[in-house]
């Protein structure tokens, strides 16, 4: 990562604290995500991963600290949340597709209704993205006619519609049948290969090892580790870290 030391990060999380009442869920979290980098956010349930993802997407406001998207402090209450979200693509563990809309209409909805793209521009962009993942033939289908893996791939395409600076993937395989996980992870690998900038929270340890440039391990709302997969998953000197990954290898 030394070669990125002088490159302005796409995402900078600076001393972020998030409290719910007296409960501190995020405790002075700081790390960067650089352009074309894939960072995997790991940790046990309750470690703060989903809360941090929600703070980055402005679904939750931080209690203290700052989050920067490029040169914009997105935690400044004066920023336009919708403009910030237009620069971030988000995919959640539940596909959140509209059942009454076709695949094509699901993918183009925000572009047409929120960003006022004309129909032809939106559909051309959507069909190009769907074709890249071999799903252009499903454009007129409805979500209930698709497998879970196909629905999640459509959700990823929808997140890519506006060519986001940052892609947030929040446990995107958790709701899938194990047999369908592979096709979604394969798509993420392809996005990484195309130079996407990705922050992903995942329980898929093998995938994190193969796809991530860097691992950020959260424990009790704090950063326990921040390093390459080899440094964090194989060579940590911290006994709690070693026990965490050993449990997944057992």
Strand segments (E) across 70-155 = 72-73, 88-91
Cα–Cα nearest to 131, from 111, 94, 91, 160: 160
Question: Is the pLDDT score of 171 beyond 90?
Answer: no
Q: Within the chain, what is the greatest distance between any pair of CA atoms?
A: 56
Q: How far apart are CA 33 and CA 24, in angstroms?
A: 23
Q: Which residue is associated with the tokens 């995919």? A: 91
* Band of residue 162 on the pLDDT scale cut at 50, 70, 90: confident
Instruction: For residue 141, give every residue at least 6 positions away whose Cβ sits within 8 Å of its Cβ, in sequence order, or none.
Output: 102, 103
Question: Is the pLDDT score of 42 beyond 70?
Answer: yes
Question: Is the pLDDT score of 3 beyond 60?
Answer: no
Two structure tokens written together for 215: 């691992």
Name the pTM for this structure: 0.88
* Band of residue 187 on the pLDDT scale cut at 50, 70, 90: confident
Question: Is the pLDDT score of 250 beyond 60?
Answer: no
Residue 93 DSSP SS3: coil
């Amino acid at each position: 990562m030394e070669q990125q030391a002088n490159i302005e990060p796409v995402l900078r999380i600076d001393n972020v604290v998030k409290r719910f009442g007296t409960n501190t869920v995020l405790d002075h979290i700081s790390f960067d995500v650089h352009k074309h980098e894939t960072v995997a956010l790991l940790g046990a349930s309750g470690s703060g991963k989903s809360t941090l993802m929600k703070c980055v997407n402005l679904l939750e406001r931080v209690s203290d600290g700052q989050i920067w998207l490029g040169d914009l402090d997105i935690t400044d209450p004066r920023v336009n949340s919708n403009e910030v979200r237009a620069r971030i693509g988000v995919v959640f563990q539940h596909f959140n597709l509209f059942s009454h809309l076709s695949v094509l209409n699901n993918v183009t909805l925000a572009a047409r209704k929120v960003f006022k793209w004309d129909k032809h521009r939106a559909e051309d962009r959507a069909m190009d993205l769907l074709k890249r993942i071999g799903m252009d033939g499903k454009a007129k289908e409805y979500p209930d006619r698709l497998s879970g893996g196909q629905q999640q791939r459509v959700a990823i395409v929808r997140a890519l519609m506006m060519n986001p600076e940052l892609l947030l993937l929040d446990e995107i395989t958790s709701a899938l049948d194990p047999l369908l996980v592979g096709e979604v992870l394969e798509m993420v690998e392809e996005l990484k290969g195309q130079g996407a900038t990705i922050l992903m929270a995942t329980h898929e340890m093998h995938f994190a090892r193969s796809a991530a440039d860097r691992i950020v391990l959260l424990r009790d709302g704090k950063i326990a580790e921040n390093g390459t997969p080899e440094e964090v998953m194989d060579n940590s000197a911290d006994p709690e870290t070693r026990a965490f990954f050993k449990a997944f290898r057992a």
